[in-house]
Chains A and B, each alone.
Chain A
Amino acid sequence: MYDVLIIGGGVTGAAIARELSRYRLKIALLEKETELAFGVSKSNSGIIHPGTQNPPDSLKGKFCVLGNLLTREIAKELGVDFKEVGELIVIFNEADRPRLQQIKAEGERLGVPRLRIVERAWLREHEPNLNPDALAALYAPTAGIISPYRWVYALAENAARNGVKIFLGHKVTGITPEPGNRRLNVSVSRTEEPRRSVSGSEVTFRARFVINCAGLYADEVARLAGIDDLTIKPRKGEEFLLDKKREHLVNHIIFPLPTPTTKGILVIKTSDGNPMIGPTAEEVADKEDRSTSDAGLQKVLAATRQLVPSLSENDIIAYFAGLRPVAGKDFIIRHEAKVPGLITVAGIQSPGLTAGPAIALLVVELLKKHGLWPHRKLSFQHYRPKTTHLFSLPVTHLPFLLEQDPTYGEIVCRCEMVSAREVRDAIKRGARTLDGIKFRTRAQAGRCHGGFCTTRIMKIMIEELKLKPTEITKRGPGSNVIVESRE
């Protein structure tokens, strides 16, 4: 029996798990994929938004402002890099100035701090690659960047350290209230790692409260419990990453004026140094359609060249698409009166990455309101040791590491300078797939895309995870990397 069962291991689920792990509760998190953060939370812009560009009375706006504050605090506790780079919403015509003023006023009403309008001279000095035609911009200095998946992994690791049980490869297939006693029975089908267990086997979890934060599938999970007023419509965003050599292309995150549905196509800084351009915004039917298109690329290039004319197509080294889980205009966070004990956290589109810790606080309030009175733990561990990454250390620091462990000197990924020791660490912290290792260490994320390191990483996985070469996957069952190994 669990006090709280969390469905979905994206940023929302991980932030809720970490917040709840402060209390003396029995908690489990169920995730259908082989690893955490393989849903919406792996493919986004990685911006911790300041709170601008949201309607004044929206949950999105309120949670974004609070989330920005909380994220920077928690990131510090968990040893995750958060960089406050600031954002600029740029206009090119005098006619757009009133709109800019309006965005500023709306932001201020939501409580976004330190907003100000900067003029052309300021822009020239602080953003030299910006289109010289830019007239003015709204400057929000509190915008920041974070590595979205490392953020989720840190939250989840800390939650696990504080007692939350995490079940991967566990897909929720049914939610039924137990007649009479306010318990929910959650049935789960397991698609676990090869060999560990038979895939497809069924188990049931019992819980007093169930939190549905299943991202794109929150509507389907809700329907399992008989809630049918939710529809999640995926809205695709294609993003294109540039070579790290262009790290200093821009100093801030550069936005155009927002449209009614999106914040527009941006020039983004990322926490790993590669600038990124995107995202597009296009409604799609298929919740698994993460394909990119020639048209998307052209659209993004055209839009961002307007902002930064020196942008070159040849600098693109990677691309991906993410799907925003849209359920109307705002987040939907509520207790389901029809199914007591079930809490829905749905429609967590942008700025959902930012809002996570704020959403978690609201979820705690909802739990309290509906009968859970948890006690705080005295033993809560706030901190998580920062992980070691050679690429972020000065060369002079290396001898100390080598003394600790000689395999810091065994370079596995040449483009991003990742050692065998870091890959092993990632596996110890939960990586089970090539993508999981990439997200945690950056190995394979550089300009050669794994041309050099893939076989080296696979060999470490074979050794550490006791896998056969053919059992190694890119991101879970079905994505096996090779089909045969001569033995």
Chain B
Amino acid sequence: MLRKMTCIECPKGCQLEINEEGGRVISLTGNQCEKGLAYGRQEIESPMRILTTTVLTEGLDLKLVPVRTDKPIPKARLLEAMALISGARLTHPVAVGEVVIKDLLCLGVDLIATRSVQ
């Protein structure tokens, strides 16, 4: 199957054309450098995203604490992660970088605070 996508590794934004079969890259054209190749392969084989969102707090000075995953997680599991996070409550103060949810969805990724709350 032929797939088209835009490389986002640099501002040139090359239009990649990828021939793919069963989640495996067979050929890739349109890139102007190696990064483009790696990007295209990653996007087809296992696209990953950093998730940023918020967690509700209880008894703290902000209603929501903004958070992000400390490493990218599979794109396909973003909504699943959101569902889990929307049920979470933070009840103790945290500083920027501290863990809010450990080992999110058993992916080996932590959800960390991006703002301090008291």
Contact = CB atoms under 8 A, between A and B. Distances in A.
Interface string A463-487: 0000000000000000000000011
Contacts of A487: 56
Interface string B62-90: 00100000000000000000000010000
Interface of A: 486-487
B interface majority secondary structure: strand
A486 B55 CA distance: 10
A487 B56 CA distance: 8
A487 B64 CA distance: 10
4 contacts: A486-B56, A486-B64, A486-B86, A487-B56
B23 to A, nearest CB: 36
Interface string B44-67: 000000000000100000001000
Contacts of A486: 56, 64, 86
Nearest to A487: B56
A208 to B, nearest CB: 54
Nearest to B64: A486
A470 to B, nearest CB: 15
Interface in B14-65: 56, 64
Contacts of B64: 486
B94 to A, nearest CB: 18
A95 B56 CA distance: 73
A486 B56 CA distance: 8
Nearest to B56: A486
Q: Which 4 pairs across A and B sit closest by C-beta, in order of nearness?
A: A486-B56, A486-B86, A486-B64, A487-B56
B117 to A, nearest CB: 15
Contacts of B56: 486-487
Contacts of B86: 486
A486 B89 CA distance: 11
Nearest to B55: A486
Nearest to A485: B63
A486 B57 CA distance: 10
A486 B64 CA distance: 9
A482 to B, nearest CB: 14
A157 B64 CA distance: 41
Nearest to A486: B56
A487 B86 CA distance: 10
A16 to B, nearest CB: 47
A486 B82 CA distance: 13
A445 B26 CA distance: 59
